[in-house]
Amino acid sequence: MSTSQKPNPLVRAWRGATRLRRTRPFWGSLLLLAGAYFVANPLFGGDWAFYVHMGVRGVTPLLLAGGMAAAALVALCVPAQRHFPAIVASMLSVASLPLANLGGWIIGMMLGIIGSGLIFAWTPYSEKQLAKFAARDERRGRRRALRTSAV
């Protein structure tokens, strides 16, 4: 691709999303956020009177889900510090079983455990792998430039 020709904004956004997925524990964070949603889902839509009537017992699922979501966002935004949030999120996920409607109907607990495990196990790409990706992208760009110049 020549320097005078800028890529389409949609293409740039797709490349940015691909780079985000490659350089962060994206899928683990996504599963952990889904688990947090399932844990807190039964209490969404309640008004202040509902929460007062439920008392502290009714707020516990929201606190667990908030902690799980915060851990997912910390791991996504600061991947170098992913181990501690992953451990905290796995403990919150397991604690949601007795404290939050059987862990969000067990689905939220399982998604939280799997997501926190993926976050904990994620490792960043090495420089060699990143160079390989950059070379592949460069080859694709040259092929696209040849294809568009031939047409």
pLDDT in tens, 59-112: 888 899 999 999 999 999 998 999 999 999 999 999 999 988 787 789 999 999
Q: Regarding predicted confidence, which is higher, 50 or 83?
A: 83
Predicted TM-score of the model (pTM):
0.76
Task: Please name the residue ranges forming H helices in the chain.
Answer: 9-23, 26-40, 48-54, 56-77, 83-99, 101-105, 107-121, 127-150
For the cut 80, the answer to whether the pLDDT of residue 4 exceeds it is no
Rounded Cα gap, residues 68 and 86, in angstroms: 9
pLDDT value at residue 104 = 74
For the cut 70, the answer to whether the pLDDT of residue 40 exceeds it is yes
